[in-house]
Amino acid sequence: MIYDPDPDADPASLTFTFGGAAPVASIRPGTVLSTWTRDCFAGRIRSTSDRVSELCDPRYINPQTGPFYVEGAEPGDTLAVHFVSIEPRESFGVSTTVPFFGALTGTGMTALLHEALEERTWLYGIDREARLVRYEALDSHYEVDLPLDPMHGTVGVAPGLGEVRSSLAPGDWGGNMDTPEMRAATTCYLGVNVEGALFSFGDGHARQGEGETCGVAVETAMDTVVIVDLLKGVPCPWPRLENDAYIITTGSARPLEDAFRIAHAELVRWTCAETGLSTLDSYQLVSQAVRSPVANVVDTAYTMTAKLPKTVLPGIEPMGGTHRRLRGQAATWLAGAVVRGT
């Protein structure tokens, strides 16, 4: 299925929330969805002299593609979103400082009496062939290439309790988690809170550091292919990810240790469920084997990930083998795409 958003749509007509927006399309579980996403500034920042505070309406930041109504999805189910491919649509990305936003500045929450840091904009060349993005300093002659590592900062469903949340917020519905783990060949599991799940995603990053320290990654529009699948009767209290090497939990909260606690308690519980280990045995195994990279320390909640290598889960197919199955489906689709020339 192809969903091609109108590139000329009025910004006010786009989707800026999880929940609260009418579905743009209905999709059947198992569907391969080929679509694209705007960058978080909806394309308004295009040169080093552009300023977010001048060009962007704060109500219209971080537009999402969707929401998609997933047929048959009900509260208590889990959506499995497999990222088949994520590719920059343009040959450049942008990053900026934004007044009172970021990890190393006072903000609206960490409310201090300082003036804002200076607002600046960086432009990155994206070389899709060489798989590189090029950093260029503004105040001196310094250039360096970083690996292209495309991902989506924002992936989620409608929240529970009737809430509608800004696409700037992460939480148990997913949303703006800003983890670099959300790359191609990864499956993201999201617990369903409302009928149809109302899945959407956006905020493509050509790459980001862990923590997204200044608050803005290498932002760019993305061509993305996902398989949207549904696990009936399987709960998923917080978003999970899985790739070929790791099972990964997330936690989004403040302070950051609470995000750590959620992600690691979820990983202990997930490991119990897959292995039959007791809670304390699982706590012990996770304690010695986990990797714990920060996702973001800038959004309305901070996000931590906890990664358990599959080597400590020998013979186990997490989530009933969903990831392996979707990897196979993706390989078939990608082989076909080569044939189709897309």
d(CA 104, CA 60): 24
Residues of span 84-103 touching a copy of itself by CB under 8 A: 95, 97, 103
Sheet strands side by side (includes 143-147): 92-96, 121-127, 132-136, 143-147
Q: Is residue 50 helix, strand or coil?
A: coil
- Under rule CB under 8 A, residue 256 binds a copy of itself: yes
φ and ψ of 271, to 5 deg: -65, -40
Beta bridge partners of 81: 188, 228
Nearer to a copy of itself, 86 or 227 (CB): 86
Q: What would the DSSP string read from start to end of 181-209?
A: T-BTT-EEEEE--STT--EEEEEEES---
Name which position in 185, 234, 289, 337 contacts a copy of itself (CB under 8 A): 289
Select the span of 36-44, 46-54, 79-87, 133-141 touching a copy of itself (CB under 8 A).
Answer: 133-141
Residues of span 16-45 touching a copy of itself by CB under 8 A: 16-17, 19-20
Token look-up 């400590």 returns 312
Nearest C-alpha neighbor of 193 from the set 148, 155, 162: 162
Name which position in 138, 245, 273, 335 contacts a copy of itself (CB under 8 A): 138
Nearest C-alpha neighbor of 75 from the set 158, 148, 16: 158
Name which position in 294, 319, 326, 330 contacts a copy of itself (CB under 8 A): 294
Residues of span 108-127 touching a copy of itself by CB under 8 A: 108-115, 117-118, 120, 122, 124
Nearer to a copy of itself, 34 or 167 (CB): 167
Cβ(169)–Cβ(175) below 8 Å: yes
d(CA 259, CA 306): 10
Name which position in 11, 99, 106, 125 contacts a copy of itself (CB under 8 A): 106
Residues of span 142-181 touching a copy of itself by CB under 8 A: 142, 144, 146, 160-166, 168
- Under rule CB under 8 A, residue 190 binds a copy of itself: no
Query: H or E segment at 224?
Result: strand 222-231
Taking CB under 8 A as the rule, which mask of x and - marks residues 216-235 in contact with a copy of itself? xxx-----------------
Binding residues with a copy of itself: total (CB under 8 A): 94
Name which position in 283, 324, 333, 334 contacts a copy of itself (CB under 8 A): 283
Nearer to a copy of itself, 226 or 268 (CB): 268
- Under rule CB under 8 A, residue 59 binds a copy of itself: yes
Query: H or E segment at 155?
Result: strand 151-156
Name which position in 188, 220, 302, 323 contacts a copy of itself (CB under 8 A): 302
- Under rule CB under 8 A, residue 76 binds a copy of itself: no
Token look-up 């980001």 returns 208
Name which position in 53, 287, 332, 342 contacts a copy of itself (CB under 8 A): 287
Select the span of 28-36, 45-53, 181-189, 298-306 touching a copy of itself (CB under 8 A).
Answer: 298-306
Query: H or E segment at 33?
Result: strand 31-37
